[in-house]
Amino acid sequence: SSTQLPTNSKTNYYCQPVENYAHSYTKKLKPTISTTNFHQNTHKSCQSLNHSKLESQSANKTQTQNSNNSNPSQNNANLWRNLKVYSSQEKDLCEENIEIKSTDLVIVKGLGFQILKSDLNDVTNGIKTMSIDSLIINKIVSSDHRGISKIFDKYNQISFKVLFFPLFIRQNHWSLLVIDSSKSSITFFDSIFQIDYNLIRKIITVLSKYIGSLKHAGSWSINANFDYPKQINNVHDCGAYVCQYAKYYIFNQLLRFGKNSTNFQLIHLNINSILNHIIEVHDMLSTQVFDVVLFSETKLDDTIPNSFYKNDHYFKIRLDRTRHGGGLLVFIKNNLVVKKSNLLEDLELIYFQLQVRSQKLNFVYTYRAPSMHEQLFLDKLDDFIHSLNLSEPLFIIGDLNIDFNNGENSKIKEFMTNNELINFVKKATRNSSKFYKNTNSFRSTSTMIDLLLHNGDFIIDTDVLNCPFSDHCFVLAKLEIKKKKKSINSVNKVECRNLSASNMAQICLKIEEANFKQMREIESIEGKWTFFKDAILNIVDEIAPIRKISINSGNQFPWYDEDLFKLKHLKNTYYKRFARSRLPDDKQAYEHFNKTFNALNDEKMIEYFKDKSMNDFKSSKKFWEFYSSKISIKSDKSSSNPISHVKFNGKVTDNKLELCNIFNCFFTSISSSSNVSIKEAEKFIDEQIESNDENQ
């Protein structure tokens, strides 16, 4: 199978010697993306390199062959005799006498393409790799090692860092052994079975004996017990999994493939002009490894149409500045749901919210231009994120041009502390060197200016990888998106005692029965207090022991909506601004938004509770306390009539005279439920008055 991977082998052909790119161009499997333009007037199926020069040098063939081979220009002259590049799958039939001659082994040939053995070394991340024939496993595990040293001779003649050993074991199963001399580590991948340590140690013992660069491999650690994709309900794809393991390892990518994966991967890069690296962008997106791909400093403007690049697997969100600097571009996989997005030009920020496994994830992708003051940028960023729902997961990504490793720069760390954010980038993201004429030397610097800030625990792994076409590094992150629980309210565990009335009565009874006479034998006040305290606590622990209970700490303001959140954000923003500046204008703005917020809050709260009854409160007292504090109750001295209409006996009336008659009839019809007569009541009143007079 063939896999498109992000390499730099397809770019800068004009800057390379001809012999370096001859085979690289023939192996390209997508002729729709072209980076060369040889003889545009020549037929597409019959383009060659310097055909006229080829004829002019044929007369000097003998002289060239007898010349000193150490001369590079003369060596290149030989190549013109044999070099031909086809730009399509059609074979050139008009010049069959010109053939590409090479001693390199052809591994695959067909349909106008051929893959050479040397091509496999180009499909790496700049790391020299080799692989061992899987048939050698039978020779290694056997007791007869005759002739095995000749098999490994070539591995002693070629320098390599990573050795792949596909193992065909258990009669019909593939697994992969990776020996990395640069890390002094051994990694074993098996998509179904557990590792057989005896088999692996036997293989390592043989390889360390016959391959010089692996002579110390016997002491290296074996990594097998870590999280990586396995086969599920499938026993036929072990070979495909081995290929994926090798691909992900060599590119130092986070292992994630398979339908059942809950991981989410993103990558960020300051690309420094996306138009100059559109092929690398296409290769990266074609792998479909990442769910979100983010590029800063795209250097696009409104003269570049949105259709300048299209990918079938991703859609894009774009924010441009100029062709000379700035600009953001976000690629999001088509299967992801974007709930909302926002573009802020003054802050150079793209905000988008994704819904993944019922979770709402807020992403803020931003770039701070070096000309923008750091504190001003952080203040504006702080204002924006407080307009979001901070109870949801938040991710702030981008090139902030603020060195996190600089101990003197406390602004970014103060910003993170105030917003409960953590930086998950652990390595330098930009390595640069500058030549100084005065000292005639280069100075190298490493800074961490590309950051990934998060307010939760969704990020489970990050890495920083060198980029061959940018002075910034790739920043990769793997997120584990867990399905959101159905319960809206979060639960906190607290320790408490059950001090009910019955328990308190038992505690008091026990204390009365306790014998405290031993306190007399203790001389010091501290000792007596300790004895008394321990005795009381023992009684309390016996009757009401400490236990943990769950307390719901959900949203205590269910009437809050987006309008209220925005007003609250504005109120808090201007309060912080006034606290810093102490200017009358800022104070006036704060008081305005504070008053507006309080009024709208009361309105929303009353609207929310207007259909509630006493049963929705713990007691009628709480019910009336709420309504008396939020609803103005007219007194009987008020000149205005608080009653507009009354419904009585199925008839609604708003006439004042009729309203008075209805209330008169109502109050005069009220009678006492007492069985005492009027004479008895009068006699009782008289007796009470006489008794009061006698007492006085």
- Tens of pLDDT, residue by residue over 119-166, are 555 555 556 788 888 778 888 888 788 888 888 888 888 888 888 889
pLDDT digits (tens, 9 = 90+) for 347-362: 999 999 999 888 899 9
**Mean pLDDT over residues 219-247, rounded?**
80
Rounded to two decimals, the pTM is 0.45
Which of 45-49, 158-162, 542-546 has the least mean pLDDT?
45-49
Q: Give yes or no for residue 78 having a pLDDT over 60.
A: no
Q: Give yes or no for residue 488 having a pLDDT over 50.
A: no
Give ranges for CATH 3.60.10.10 in the chain: 263-480
- E strand or H helix that includes residue 70: none
Give the pLDDT confidence score for residue 450 in this predicted structure.
Answer: 95
Q: Which two tokens stand for residue 347?
A: 């802050």
**Mean pLDDT over residues 268-292, rounded?**
90
Give the pLDDT confidence score for residue 473 in this predicted structure.
Answer: 93
Q: Which two tokens stand for residue 204?
A: 């390592």
Q: Give yes or no for residue 319 having a pLDDT over 90.
A: yes
Q: Give yes or no for residue 466 having a pLDDT over 70.
A: yes
Q: Give yes or no for residue 693 having a pLDDT over 80.
A: no
H runs (alpha helix) in 394-448: 411-418
Q: Give yes or no for residue 100 having a pLDDT over 70.
A: no
Give the pLDDT confidence score for residue 48 in this predicted structure.
Answer: 35
Contacts of 494 (CB under 8 A, 6+ apart): 548, 549, 551
Give the pLDDT confidence score for residue 381 in this predicted structure.
Answer: 93
**Single-letter code of the amino acid located at 47:** Q
Residues in the chain: 696
Q: Which of 455, 348, 361, 447 is nearest to 406 (CA)?
A: 447
Give the pLDDT confidence score for residue 18 in this predicted structure.
Answer: 33
The CA–CA distances, whole Å, from 588 to 574, 596, 601 equal 9, 12, 20
Q: Give yes or no for residue 363 having a pLDDT over 90.
A: yes
pLDDT digits (tens, 9 = 90+) for 430-460: 988 877 778 888 888 889 999 999 998 899 9
Cβ(123)–Cβ(246) under 8 Å? Answer: no
Q: CA-to-CA distance for 106 and 116, rounded, in angstroms? A: 4
Q: Give yes or no for residue 3 having a pLDDT over 70.
A: no
**Single-letter code of the amino acid located at 6:** P
Give ranges for CATH 3.40.395.10 in the chain: 129-250
User: 268: pLDDT confidence band, cut at 50, 70 and 90?
Assistant: very high
The CATH number of 263-480, from 3.40.640.10, 3.60.10.10, 3.90.1170.30, 3.40.50.300, is: 3.60.10.10
Give the pLDDT confidence score for residue 125 in this predicted structure.
Answer: 52
Give the pLDDT confidence score for residue 274 in this predicted structure.
Answer: 94
Which CATH code for domain 129-250?
Answer: 3.40.395.10
Give the pLDDT confidence score for residue 681 in this predicted structure.
Answer: 77
Q: What is the per-residue DSSP string for 620-675?
A: HHHHHHHHHHHS----TT-SS-S---EEETTEEE--HHHHHHHHHHHHHT------
pLDDT digits (tens, 9 = 90+) for 103-120: 556 655 555 556 565 555
Q: Which of 206, 245, 198 is nearest to 222 (CA)?
A: 198
Chain mean pLDDT for the chain: 75
Give the pLDDT confidence score for residue 111 in this predicted structure.
Answer: 52
Cβ(545)–Cβ(497) under 8 Å? Answer: yes
Q: Give yes or no for residue 51 having a pLDDT over 60.
A: no
Q: What is the 3-state secondary structure (H, E, C) of 484-548?
A: CCCCCCCEEEEEECCCCHHHHHHHHHHHHHCCCHHHHHCCCHHHHHHHHHHHHHHHHHHHCCCEE
User: 636: pLDDT confidence band, cut at 50, 70 and 90?
Assistant: very low
Q: How many CB atoms lie within 10 A of CB 297?
A: 22
Considering the chain, what percentage of its residues have pLDDT values greater than 90? 19
Q: CA-to-CA distance for 283 and 373, rounded, in angstroms? A: 36
Q: Give yes or no for residue 299 having a pLDDT over 90.
A: yes
Q: Give yes or no for residue 475 having a pLDDT over 80.
A: yes
